[in-house]
Structure formats: C-alpha cells, structure tokens
Structure 1
Amino acid sequence: MRLVSAAETAPTTHPWVVHADGLRVRAGRHLAVDGLDLRLGTGVHGLLGPNGAGKTTLMRALATVLQPAGGRLALLGEPVDGRADLRPVRRALGYLPQQFGFYPRFTVREFVEYMAWLKEMPKPAVPGAVQRAIERVGLAAKADARMKTLSGGMLRRAGIAQAIVNDPAVLLLDEPTVGLDPEQRLDFRELLRDLGVDSCVLVSTHLVEDVVAACTDVVLINEGTLVFQGTPDDLIAQGGDGDAGDSPAERGYSALLRRHRTGAAR
C-alpha cells in the first residue's frame, strides 16, 4: 500500500477564484460588460453600480448563463469562455438571480431538494444539506409550506437556500435582500460573513450600507467597466463633505461615479 502525501490530499487552491481579463459580455445586442478586468478570492465581495452598469450581465456570465463575447474568464482555475462541458464548474457554483423560477406547489423542502438534484449532489448527502440550508436562512418553520404561500421576503430566503445547498465555492447573489425586512437583513449580513470564510461570495446590491457592513471587498462598475475595487474603508475614503449621500459610504460611492463620468482623477 502506497503512502499518500499531505500535498496529494490538500484541497486544490487557485491564485484567484474569479479571474477576468478584458471580459466582454453582451446583453442582447448591447455590450453590457466591456473590457472588464477582475480578480476575486475567498471572502465577501459587494458589487455596486447604478442601474444599467452591467451588474446583472456580469453575474450571469460568472454563473455561466451567458457566454463571453471576448476576453478571458476563469472560475476556480478553469477557463469557461468557449468551454464545451461546464458541468464540473457548475457543480461548484451557487446562483440566485434577480428573478428565479419555481414550481408554486412545491414545498420549500421540495424546491431546495430539486435544486440540489439539478446540481448533481450525491443522493445520500441531499437530505442533510437541504435541512441545513433551510435552517441557515431561517425557514425551518416553513420547510413544508408550499412556495406559493410564502411572502416576498420568504421567497427570497428560499432562493438563497437553494443557492447555498451545495456549499458552493463560488456564490453569486443578485439583489438578495429585496423584500427582506431590517431584521432579516441583519441576519443575512451575518450569514454572508459566515459563508465568506471558505467561499468566494459576490453580492450585487444597491444598498451601499449592506456592502460596508458585510463585505470584505467592494467592486464598483459603471458602463461595463471597473471603476473601483478595494475595502469598505477605501470606498469611504473616496468621498468628502460636498459629495452626495447620507453616509460616508454613499458619499464615497457617489464621488467615484462622478469622477469616472467626468474623467477626473482623485
């Protein structure tokens, strides 16, 4: 019997979990992501930008829903631009789109189980993983309720549960806090911090304060290009008293967008 070295049993690591160079992605005929360079590692990354900035198109490309029109994109060290078989990469992804489909008569448990099956999870692991995901989003009391009976906030939490059921290495959440009340948003921030310990989490949102409270890294895009990437403190430092916003983070956000649009440097 051959002895197995520690290097052989160690988990695979990658310099960057998400690595994009000159990424270009179309939304219909429109080039929504245009020459984007991006590096994301383990942690919670907040994706900010005004309406039409290309956030959703970028998320769909990272989820392998949209194929890049140009540039290079790699997830977990594997190139996905032009790759024929994306199943190995998709097994390691979790994705919550802005609007997700579901069968109304499914219970919450059946819905999350169905998504686990689509992700090709091992059958013996599914029941425990489903229960854990439902509990993590605070829906244990509604596990056997039909999806059609849930409120908007509960539906959003069910969507988060299906996204995390496979313990993804890359988790993509597009506007996950829509419909959540303030208390649920606080719980969600705590969940994000927990998930970001071992995974690369990218959260697209318009709520700058959620990003500052829960994220280790901030990514700001506009017109499909990268405007800024840094820590929440770096974002805050970009703003001043004369910039628009009700908080230091919002003033930093508006200052960066203003300078990008006018071509002005700090």
Structure 2
Amino acid sequence: MMPAASAADIAPTPYAWEIRATGLKVRVGRNHMAVDGLDLSLGTGVHGLLGPNGAGKSTLIRALATVLRPAEGTLELLGESAGGMGEHRALRRRIGYLPQEFGYYKRFTVREFVEYMAWLKEVPKGDIPAAVQHAVERVGLADRADKRMKTLSGGMVRRVGIAQAIVNDPTILLLDEPTAGLDPAQRLRFRELLQELGKDTCVVVSTHLVEDVAAACTDVVLFAEGRLVFQGTPDDLAAAGGPEHVGDSPLERGYSALLLGPGRGRGAW
C-alpha cells in the first residue's frame, strides 16, 4: 500500500516564481545605479546571465543573494520580500551562492571547508557529513577531499566553491563566473552538473562564455548598463544575429547584434 501523502506534500507551491524583480534598482557606491529598473521573473531551470564587463551582472547576483539591498523597486525570492534591511536568515538557508572571488582558510582541507560552510548555512548537524560528501563528489573532488586548500590548483579551488554553494541543496543557486579557471574537460562536466541541478532548482549563472550558455542553459538573460536587453532561449539568441554581425558562432553573432547592432564593429576592449 502506498503511504498517504501529508498535507505539506500536496500543498501547492506558495510562490509563482523563485525569483521576481519589479522595477529593481541596486546602487553601488553613492551615485552609480548598477541595476537600473529591472523587471525579471525566473523559475526552475538554468538561466544564463550574459553581458559585457560593467553591465551590472555581479551586482544583480549579489542582490539576489541578499548581500546588497535594493535602492528601489521590489525583489521577491521564493515568495518572500528580499528588500529593505529585514532579517533574511531563513531565506539564505535556501540559497547557494558562489561569488567571483570567495575567501577560504588555506590550512583547511576541502572537507573541512565545505563542512564549515554547511554549518554556516545551518544544515542540520547530523546531515552535514553526507551532504558534504555528496557535494564534493558532484564536483569531482572526492579523491581530494582530505587535501589542504593551499595545495589545490585554481580550477580545483573553483570546484570547491561550487561544492560549498550546493552543499545545502539550495532552491536558488547563484553562480558568478563559475567556470573561471576550469579546463575544457572540467567545463564539460560542470555543464552536465548544471543540467542535473536545473531539473529542480532555479540556477542563475553569470558568465562571459557564450558557448557555456548554449550547452547548459534553458534560457538566456542579456544584461547591459544595468538593464534587461533580451530574455529568451539560446536558439532565440542565435536567431537574433546574422552574417553581418561580429562573432564566430550563431550565438556570438546574436549577442553582438543585440548589444552592438549591425556595422558597429567589435567595440572597445
């Protein structure tokens, strides 16, 4: 006989979108509005956040991680307001976050560091060993779990960063340039991991690598000067460009078409 489902098991999801921003503005410093009037809704899946340097991608990721608070507009995460100076402790337990640069204790082993992060994220004490082992295995570092962080290559450190971001089995996963330092084989494995995670998680991946978006993302958010330029599938992005646009692939030409327009060259470095 099948066990009876509890009321919690069959209750509808209390929110329509994992992430919803309306008129969102986020200021960096006194005068720079790095995110300027963003309307965006994201649900389960892998969302690629693309844009040039200085577009505001990292600022947006930090706001979604509740590290920065909105200056104006509304931001809802998992149906809860993430604006203002309120307490976000319970919300943060359900978020995984990998910044572009993250600090770590060099004398910690990989296992000790991920355990420490699990503790900070309030993973139940009895669940931590299994959660850490699973996270380390998912990033392909099981054989390095008892090695000190200071002995790892840059790519391995980045993979530890991904492990700590997923150790709490988050509902929202925010990854800022996660493939930096990964070699081609590691990037392929990472794309597979993203596809696995995106089945039941809202994953936002900020990247400069357009081809990573094509391989792993269900949709693309193109961001420039703090504003949304485009949102659609990778195929939609590819269709936006033509032979007259800059790029070595249809996706790159679509990216160029939307950011530069035809006949405007390669732009500045």
Tell me, yes or no, whether TM beats 0.5: yes
1:138 aligned counterpart, secondary structure: coil
Residues paired across the two proteins, number = 258
Partner of 2:41: 39
1:212 aligned counterpart, secondary structure: helix
| Inter-partner Cα distance in structure 1 for 2:202 and 2:8 | 23
Partner of 1:17: 18
| Inter-partner Cα distance in structure 2 for 1:11 and 1:28 | 43
Verify: 1:166 aligned to 2:168, yes or no. Answer: yes
| Inter-partner Cα distance in structure 1 for 2:40 and 2:22 | 7
Partner of 1:198: 200
Gaps of 5+ in 2: 265-269
Letter in 1 for 2:23: G
Which runs of structure 2 are paired with 1:139-158 in the superposition (5 Å)? 139-158=141-160
1:26 aligned counterpart, secondary structure: strand
Which runs of structure 2 are paired with 1:241-256 in the superposition (5 Å)? 241-256=243-258
Q: Normalization by structure 1: what TM-score?
A: 0.94
Gaps of 5+ in 1: none
1:251 aligned counterpart, secondary structure: helix
Partner of 1:138: 140
Verify: 1:224 aligned to 2:226, yes or no. Answer: yes
Partner of 2:88: 86
| Inter-partner Cα distance in structure 1 for 2:76 and 2:167 | 23
| Inter-partner Cα distance in structure 2 for 1:220 and 1:37 | 13
Deviation of residue 5 (structure 1)?
A: 6.7
| Inter-partner Cα distance in structure 2 for 1:54 and 1:12 | 34
| Inter-partner Cα distance in structure 2 for 1:12 and 1:148 | 46
RMSD of aligned alpha carbons = 1.5
Change (3 A) 1:240 1:75: same
Deviation digits for residues 153-194 of structure 1 (CA, Å, limit 9, x no counterpart): 000000000000011000000000000000000000000000
2:52 aligned counterpart, secondary structure: coil
Moved more, 72-81 or 23-32: 23-32
Aligned pair partner of 1:101 in 78, 100, 103: 103
Q: Is this contact kept in 1: 2:25–2:35, CA < 8 A?
A: yes
| Inter-partner Cα distance in structure 2 for 1:181 and 1:141 | 18
Deviation of residue 7 (structure 1)?
A: 4.3
Q: Determine what percentage of the aligned residue pairs are the same residue.
A: 71
Which runs of structure 2 are paired with 1:49-128 in the superposition (5 Å)? 49-128=51-130
Deviation of residue 199 (structure 1)?
A: 0.2
Change (3 A) 1:254 1:40: same
| Inter-partner Cα distance in structure 2 for 1:250 and 1:76 | 33
Change (3 A) 1:137 1:241: same
Q: Normalization by structure 2: what TM-score?
A: 0.93
2:20 aligned counterpart, secondary structure: strand
Deviation of residue 92 (structure 1)?
A: 0.2
Deviation of residue 27 (structure 1)?
A: 1.4
Q: Is this contact kept in 1: 2:245–2:261, CA < 8 A?
A: no
Q: Is this contact kept in 1: 2:105–2:149, CA < 8 A?
A: yes
Deviation of residue 28 (structure 1)?
A: 1.4
Deviation of residue 10 (structure 1)?
A: 2.8
| Inter-partner Cα distance in structure 1 for 2:127 and 2:44 | 24
